[in-house]
Each structure stands twice: as structure tokens, then as C-alpha cells.
Amino acid sequence: MAAFIAPALILFLLFVIVPVLFAAYTSFFDWNGLGGIPTDFVGLENFQALIADEVFLGDLWRIGLITMLSVAVQLPMAFGLAMLLHQRFPGRTAFRLLFFVPYILTEAVTAVLFGLIFSPRRGFADAVLAGLGFDGRVGWLSDRGLVLFVIFGILTWKFFGFHMILYLAGRQNIPEELYEAARVDGATSKQLFRHITLPLMGPTIRITVFLSVIGTVQLFDLVYVLTKGGPYHASETLAITMYDQGFVRNQIGYASALSIAMFLISLLFALIYQRYVLSRDLQGSLTSTDGGRS
């Protein structure tokens, strides 16, 4: 057994544990990434500067806003679409494929595509507005008050199909006998949804919320290719700030502190979410596998 586990464990140590430990080490130094091992120890100064950095605080606010919009708009839309596509009607499989296709595209390709659509030089979006009789010149990606919502719309277009497939799989795992028995007892469609579908879809819903939050914290590719965090940090994320500090300004120590902050945010959220939200799902799975013994 150890021989089978060893290769995966070695890879995990080399590509996960060691980089995290090295980032934690360099976060205590003023280092530009050159000249070998860092030696200019500054203690917690990088973290103190991080807390006082308006860009970092703005990143947290923007990540929080996108997360709230995802939970309030993107996931309910994906859930409703999954419930609709669960019904039997002609072309159902084609519609499922059509809505899932955007998720297959890489984030870089998606960014290039929408960069053309929202181009200030009479892109497709402006052309549509002009055809409808509006001005047709909107700063989709240059307006500080608008750019974040445009990016959220693009993220929704790309990822709602993924969540839709998860919800669809969760719905298909609910035994139809439960609905048939409830209908015999006179339950209405609303009662079926409220007392059967929604509770039994709970584990899937909780997992999609978790994936959405963690994915938002790590958001980088799409936003960087589309706006590079502009204009004036209006669409910047934690990962873009870390990249800018580390690879553009050569402030590796500060960037390492930022990476540790991202790691701690993700870890803290994962631990709290597992403890207070996912714990009952895990307990239920353990109960079902040991025959009801605990």
C-alpha cells in the first residue's frame, strides 16, 4: 500500500507543501526574488503593509461582492435551469449541451472573446445598442462603476453551465417514488419542491456554494486577460494584485505575504464551512456506509 501512496505523496509535498512553506518563509523578508535565499528579515512588516493597503482591502470588497452576486444570482439561475432541463421535452439533450459548452472554454479564450464583444471600437455590444436606438458607446470595461458587473456577467455565462450540471445530477439522484407517493397524498407542485426537491438537493447546493466562493478567491485568468485589473484597480482581484507585486514590481516578499493571506482566507472559509455547513452531509454519508452505526 505504501508503494502506491508514495508517488502521490511525494508530488503533493513537492508541488503543494514546499511552495506554501517557502512562500510563508519569504513573506517575512524584503526580497526581490534575486540573489539567492532572502536575508533582509523584516518580520511582520509585509503583513502590516498588507492590512493598510487600500488595493488589498479593495480586493477583499470586490471578491465579496462577486461572491454575493454569485450566490444570489448565478447559482439560483443555474438551479432553475437545471430543474427546467430535468423535464422531458424535445431537444432536452441539445439544450443541456448548449448551456454547458461555455464551461469547456478556457478562461483566457473567454476573456479574448468578450474583449472583442465589449470593445470600445464599435464592438458587438455597442453595435446592438446602436441598433436599438441607444447611444451605442458604453465604457463596458473602462467605466469603474460598470466593469465589475460586466465581469460578473461574463463569469456567470461561463460557469453557470457547470453548476447546472451539478444540480441536474443531484435532481436525477432523487427517487421518483418519493414524488409519486406525495402526489398520491395530494401534494401540489410547490409542496413537492419545498418538501422533497429542495431538502434533498441541499448537499449539492452546499457544494456549489463552496466551489463558487473558493473559485472567486482564486479568480485571475479571465480578469487579467480582459482588463488586467483596471481601470484604476476597479476590477482587480487578490491574485492579480499578487501577480503585479511579485512579477511586475519584483516585491516577492510582499507578494508572498499576499499569497499567504489568500491561503488563510480559503483555509479559514473551508474549515468553517465544513464545520457548520457540510458536517451534516458528511455525517449522513458515514451513517449510510456503516449501516446506521455511529
Domain spans, the chain? 45-278
Angle of helix 107-117 relative to helix 124-131, nearest 10 degrees?
A: 40
Amino acid identity for residue 270 in this structure? A
Quick one: which of 60, 64, 208, 66 has its CA closest to 151? 66
Amino acid identity for residue 125 in this structure? A
CA 272 to chain centre: 17
Contact 207, 166 (CB under 8 A): yes
pLDDT of residue 219: 94
Contact 209, 71 (CB under 8 A): yes
pLDDT of residue 293: 46
Distance CA 158, CA 225 (A): 15
Contact 255, 242 (CB under 8 A): yes
Distance CA 137, CA 118 (A): 10
Q: Identify the residue whose cell numbers are 501577480.
A: 243
The domain 45-278 belongs to what CATH superfamily? MetI-like (1.10.3720.10)
Burial class (CB in 10 A: 0-12, 13-18, 19+), 196: middle
Could you say which residues of the chain have pLDDT below 70? 136, 282-294
pLDDT of residue 3: 85
Distance CA 192, CA 180 (A): 10
Q: What is the pTM of this model?
A: 0.89
pLDDT of 146-205, one tens digit each? 999 999 999 999 999 999 999 999 999 999 999 999 999 999 999 999 999 999 999 999
pLDDT of residue 282: 64
Distance CA 29, CA 189 (A): 62
Distance CA 71, CA 91 (A): 29
Q: Identify the residue whose cell numbers are 478562461.
A: 107
Contact 111, 105 (CB under 8 A): no
- Which region, left, alpha or beta, applies to residue 176 given φ > 0 means left and ψ of -120 to 50 means alpha? alpha
Distance CA 122, CA 223 (A): 21
